[in-house]
């Protein structure tokens, strides 16, 4: 079987070229099994995967039936190791199958064309060269960035509304892929962080955590279990994991897609984006506008979430969980210096992002009548600024809003 590969301007090494050729050949084999006829792919373009995966755009040059002109291939490089329970390929394949089963109007992800468990490979609809939400936020057009954020929040609401009550379907898809069980990928680290952060705060910045505050934080782990408001979550809903297309926002990258309480995603509007490298500040009022956009979709399934008395306490718990977890991840230990969240990206300093998250937690805790938690949050924010200096005092806005 011949495989044509055009790498364009990329100066790839032989090893990379061989991997690309193997990936294209594997995709052709998966498509042949899926459709019962040979499909020839060519002109592979590297879309930049990760250490775990290679992602390519390919052109369909020969097919006996109607197919899109281009497709996207994602192949996982590493096999599932003995004893490893969480398989990113299984999570992504099951997530993509779940969305592909929805109607076109309900789908906010690429359609899954074919997948091969043996090859650990997915063939996906090509959504084109649309910008990501990160591109919009790091650009210079404030209006475009604002529209993209609101579209993202509405799309997240549609994800939740359209997948509510589908946990049994997701379970069945995971079992077909050989997974006996699955968990929210943040759950183990979150439980560890909620237990260990008080000691870290005392050691790194000299802040003591009252027992009642520590207990309240640990109790937010209830969000990681079975709750009434569960739906599908991409898990990693960062700005660079979605495309802003002319058909709306489309989510990508479901390596850790799972079912969980929707508040854990909605808290991304407040923190914002706590697990992401591009976690700058939002303009005043933007979070509230995004929350309203999310509610406009989610309330079609859970009308009671339009009631602040129902939503806001849950949202505060999710916010506490994310602030504690991201602080456990990012706070420089005693012997470490401050640095950007990601030194290779347009990224804020860790100290500035964390101080801002604790200040916002103080404000929202006061609004919910949690005054002891608010006092602790203020003490943490102030201590971060004392340790790291003026650079920690103000988190810059996203470049589009400066």
What average pLDDT does this structure show over 113-132? 96
Range with the poorest average pLDDT among 99-108, 142-151, 192-201, 289-298: 99-108
**Both 121 and 138 in a single domain?**
no
Residue 391 lies in a domain: yes
Given 97, 125, 153, the domain boundary residue is: 125
- pTM summary value: 0.92
Residue 2 lies in a domain: no
Q: Locate the DSSP E strands across 29-167.
A: 40-46, 53-62, 70-76, 112-116, 121-125
Residue 79: give its domain's CATH number: 3.30.200.20
Share of the chain above pLDDT 70, in %: 95
| CA–CA separation, 402 and 400 (whole Å) | 6
| CA–CA separation, 325 and 302 (whole Å) | 27
**Both 196 and 292 in a single domain?**
yes
**Both 150 and 263 in a single domain?**
yes
Q: What is the pLDDT of residue 301?
A: 97
Q: How many CB atoms lie within 10 A of CB 303?
A: 11
273 — alpha (psi -120 to 50), left (phi > 0) or beta? left
Q: Locate the DSSP E strands across 168-238.
A: 230-233
* Model confidence at 304: pLDDT above 90: yes
**Both 89 and 182 in a single domain?**
no
**Alpha helix stretches (DSSP H) within 241-345:** 263-266, 286-298, 308-330
What average pLDDT does this structure show over 5-20? 64
How many Å is the Cα radius of gyration of the chain? 22
**Both 29 and 137 in a single domain?**
no
Domain count, the chain: 2
**Both 206 and 146 in a single domain?**
yes
pLDDT digits 0-9 by tens, 315-370: 999 999 999 999 999 999 988 999 999 999 999 999 999 999 999 999 999 999 99
Q: How many CB atoms lie within 10 A of CB 1?
A: 9
What band does 57 get if pLDDT is binned at 50, 70 and 90? very high
| CA–CA separation, 62 and 251 (whole Å) | 29
Given 125, 141, 163, the domain boundary residue is: 125
pLDDT digits 0-9 by tens, 26-51: 999 999 999 999 999 999 999 987 78
Residue 161 lies in a domain: yes
| Start-to-end CA span in the chain (Å) | 53
Three-state DSSP class for residue 72: strand
* Model confidence at 246: pLDDT above 70: yes
Residue 1 lies in a domain: no
Cis peptide before 140 (omega within 30 of 0): no
pLDDT digits 0-9 by tens, 153-194: 999 999 999 999 999 999 999 999 999 888 888 999 999 999
Residue 3 lies in a domain: no
* Model confidence at 82: pLDDT above 90: no
**Both 120 and 141 in a single domain?**
no
Residue 8 lies in a domain: no
**Both 301 and 170 in a single domain?**
yes
Q: What is the pLDDT of residue 13?
A: 63
Packed helices 167-176 and 88-100: angle between N→C axes, nearest 10 degrees: 130
**Both 282 and 199 in a single domain?**
yes
Smallest Cα–Cα separation from 250: which of 159, 322, 332?
159
Given 79, 94, 125, the domain boundary residue is: 125
Checking DSSP bridges between strand 40-46 and strand 242-245, what pairing results, if any? unpaired
**Both 91 and 143 in a single domain?**
no
Q: Give me the half-sphere count of Cα atoms (radius 13 Å) on the Cβ side of residue 335.
A: 0
What band does 83 get if pLDDT is binned at 50, 70 and 90? low
Residue 212 lies in a domain: yes
What band does 84 get if pLDDT is binned at 50, 70 and 90? low
Greatest Cα-to-Cα distance within the chain, rounded to the nearest angstrom: 68
**Both 224 and 318 in a single domain?**
yes
Residue 7 lies in a domain: no
* Model confidence at 4: pLDDT above 50: no
Q: What is the pLDDT of residue 12?
A: 47
Three-state DSSP class for residue 233: strand
User: Which residues sit opposite 70 in a β-bridge?
Assistant: 59
Residue 343: give its domain's CATH number: 3.90.1200.10
Average pLDDT along the chain: 93
pLDDT digits 0-9 by tens, 366-387: 999 999 999 999 999 999 999 9
Q: What are the structure tokens assigned to 286, written together?
A: 């933007």
**Both 103 and 153 in a single domain?**
no
10 Å CB burial of residue 43 (0-12, 13-18, 19+) is middle
Enclosing domain of residue 330:
133-401
Q: What is the pLDDT of residue 42?
A: 96
């Amino acid at each position: 079987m011949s495989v044509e590969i055009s790498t364009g301007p990329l100066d790839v090494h032989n090893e990379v070229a061989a991997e690309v050729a193997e990936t294209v050949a594997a995709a052709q084999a998966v498509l042949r099994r899926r459709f019962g006829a040979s499909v020839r792919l060519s002109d592979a373009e590297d879309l930049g995967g990760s250490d775990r995966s290679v992602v390519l755009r390919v052109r369909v040059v020969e097919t006996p039936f109607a197919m899109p002109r281009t497709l996207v291939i994602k192949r996982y490089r590493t096999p599932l190791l003995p004893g490893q329970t969480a398989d990113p390929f299984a999570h992504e394949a099951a997530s993509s199958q779940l969305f592909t089963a929805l109607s076109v109007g309900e789908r906010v992800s690429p359609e899954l064309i074919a997948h091969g468990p043996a090859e650990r490979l997915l063939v996906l609809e090509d959504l084109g060269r649309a910008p990501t939400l990160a591109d919009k936020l790091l650009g210079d057009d404030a209006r475009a960035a604002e529209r993209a954020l609101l579209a993202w929040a509405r799309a997240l609401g549609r994800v939740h509304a359209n997948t509510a009550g589908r946990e049994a379907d997701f379970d069945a898809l995971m079992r077909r892929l050989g997974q006996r069980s699955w968990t929210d990928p943040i759950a183990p680290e979150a439980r560890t962080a909620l237990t260990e952060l008080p000691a870290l705060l005392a050691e790194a910045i000299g802040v003591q955590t009252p027992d009642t505050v520590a207990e309240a934080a640990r109790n937010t782990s209830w969000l990681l279990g079975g709750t009434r408001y569960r739906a599908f979550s991409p898990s990693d809903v960062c700005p660079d994991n979605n495309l802003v297309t002319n058909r709306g926002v489309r989510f990508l990258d479901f390596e850790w897609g799972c079912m969980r309480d929707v508040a854990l995603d909605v808290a991304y509007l407040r923190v914002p984006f706590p697990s992401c490298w591009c976690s700058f500040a939002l303009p005043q009022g933007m979070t509230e506008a995004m929350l309203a956009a999310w509610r406009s979709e989610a309330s079609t399934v859970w009308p009671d979430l339009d009631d602040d008395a129902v939503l806001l306490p849950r949202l505060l718990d999710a916010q506490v969980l994310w602030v504690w977890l991201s602080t456990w991840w990012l706070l420089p230990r005693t012997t470490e210096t401050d640095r950007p969240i990601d030194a290779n990206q347009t990224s804020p300093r860790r100290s500035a992002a964390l101080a801002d998250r604790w200040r916002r937690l103080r404000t929202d805790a006061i609004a919910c009548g949690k005054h002891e938690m608010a006092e602790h949050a203020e003490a943490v924010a102030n201590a971060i600024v004392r340790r790291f200096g003026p650079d920690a005092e103000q988190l810059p806005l996203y470049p589009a809003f400066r």
